[in-house]
Amino acid sequence: MMSEQFEKVGEGLLVRAPGKINLSLLVKGKRPDGFHNIESIMAKIDLYDEILIKQKTEDGGQRTEERTKNTEQRMQNIELICKGEYKVPEGEDNLVYKAAVEILKIKNQKSNSNEERNTGLKITLTKNMPAGSGLGSGSSDAAATLLGINKFFGMGLGKKELRSLAAKLGSDVAFFLDGPIAFCTGRGEKVKKLEKCEFRVFLIVPDVSVSTKRVYENYRHDESRYRRLREEINIYIEKKRLDLISGLCANILEESCFALHPELGVLKKRIESLGIRPVCLSGSGSSMFVFINDANRERAETYRNRIERELECTSFIVNNNSW
């Protein structure tokens, strides 16, 4: 059974932050502001980071030596703890922290008393997805923090207000406020919901952290390729045949990513040599995925063990997320 996004845990609120894959990713060209315009179909998957939101006590229940850490966070009345398999910064560089700061500004502006304004938060982020993997986990964590704090305090902020906050945090954050599948344009912040579709994918997560910034800087635009893929994809969108789009493996950033990380290109060929294909890159990398149907489902389970053993890659079999 698929998990719900929100779950009450004692006096706290647990918020699940799903990853995503890009069923397609085209780059339209570079913008005057230095960013790139994209056209991407993003779909949430049922692989989650977890964010636990609690109201902070006066000392947060911390030991003395722990209270000396992260002075800036204490000044903002936010305590952020990060745990889980993958390490991320616990300070103000973390998108969860930034998201909490932004939405608490709104709360404080609307509060009627100093007591309400000074309400602190203890946020625990459990990372089950690595950063730099093309799964959008950082953006999803930020969106989940906005949604969670809004719900935790009963702030009643609508989608328009939340999207305004999301725009300050990153291009993909807006997608994770809604979904579960959407056509994203602009820098990724313009989100058009698409009809939900069910799928299952074999997800491979190499131990390689890819810099999205570097991949875009290394990208060389091919206008004819962009136009050809765009025409095909738009036809399939109109026909509501997202299953056919996935078969294209239309990620125009793949060449740039593999030029920076040749080991990922080698890994893709080795995976395809096992007989599961086509192998698609998610986002700017490094994660890759293969769609599973009834014919190759059993083989995927077998290959998952083989890939983890022989290629030393973490892998999952995941489904589309329903929210």
Look up the CATH number of the domain holding residue 171.
Answer: 3.30.230.10
Q: What is the mean pLDDT of residues 191-195?
A: 95
Q: What is the pLDDT of residue 307?
A: 87
- Does the residue 70 lie in any domain? yes
Confidence band for 322, pLDDT divided at 50, 70 and 90: very high
Which residue is listed with tokens 């894959």? 21
Lowest mean pLDDT segment, chosen from 9-13, 79-83, 106-110, 214-218: 106-110
Active-site residues: which are they? 20, 172
H/E stretch holding 248: helix 242-248
Q: What is the mean pLDDT of residues 195-210?
A: 94
**100 in the same domain as 57:** yes
Exposure string over 4-37, b if 16+ CB within 10 A, otherwise e: ebbeeeeebbbbbbbbbbbbbbbbbeeeeeeebe
Q: What is the pLDDT of residue 58?
A: 58
Q: What is the mean pLDDT of residues 290-314?
A: 83
- Does the residue 156 lie in any domain? yes
**43 in the same domain as 164:** yes
**239 in the same domain as 155:** no
**272 in the same domain as 174:** no
Residue 240 backbone class (left: φ over 0; alpha: ψ -120 to 50; beta: rest): left
- Does the residue 252 lie in any domain? yes
H/E stretch holding 224: helix 223-238
3-class secondary structure, 245 = helix
**Among residues 170, 193, 216, which one ends one of the domains?**
193
CB 78 within 8 A of CB 72: no
- Does the residue 17 lie in any domain? yes
CATH number for position 271: 3.30.70.890
**304 in the same domain as 178:** no
CB 282 within 8 A of CB 22: yes
**78 in the same domain as 144:** yes
**205 in the same domain as 155:** no
Cα torsion 90, 94, 97, 103 to 10°: value is -170
Tokens coding 147: 């949604």
Confidence band for 246, pLDDT divided at 50, 70 and 90: confident
Domain membership of residue 262 as a residue range = 200-319
**Among residues 158, 175, 193, which one ends one of the domains?**
193
**173 in the same domain as 93:** yes
Q: What is the mean pLDDT of residues 231-246?
A: 93
**154 in the same domain as 236:** no
Give the number of other Cβ atoms within 10 Å of residue 76's Cβ. Answer: 18
**Among residues 162, 193, 224, which one ends one of the domains?**
193
Q: What is the pLDDT of residue 187?
A: 95
Strands (E), the chain: 6-9, 12-30, 36-55, 78-84, 121-127, 181-185, 190-193, 200-205, 250-251, 280-281, 288-291, 314-319
**161 in the same domain as 240:** no
- Does the residue 95 lie in any domain? yes
pLDDT tens per residue, range 58-90: 554 444 344 434 544 444 689 999 999 999 999
Which residue is listed with tokens 């989100």? 191
Give the number of other Cβ atoms within 10 Å of residue 287's Cβ. Answer: 29
Number of folded domains that form the chain: 2
Q: What is the mean pLDDT of residues 159-180?
A: 95
Radius of gyration of the chain (CA): 20
Distance (Å, whole) CA 55 – CA 229: 49
Helices and strands: H and E segment counts in the chain: 13, 12
Give residues with Cβ within 8 angstroms of 61, minimum separation 6.
none
**175 in the same domain as 142:** yes
- Does the residue 1 lie in any domain? no
For the chain, the residue count is 323
3-class secondary structure, 157 = coil
**158 in the same domain as 66:** yes
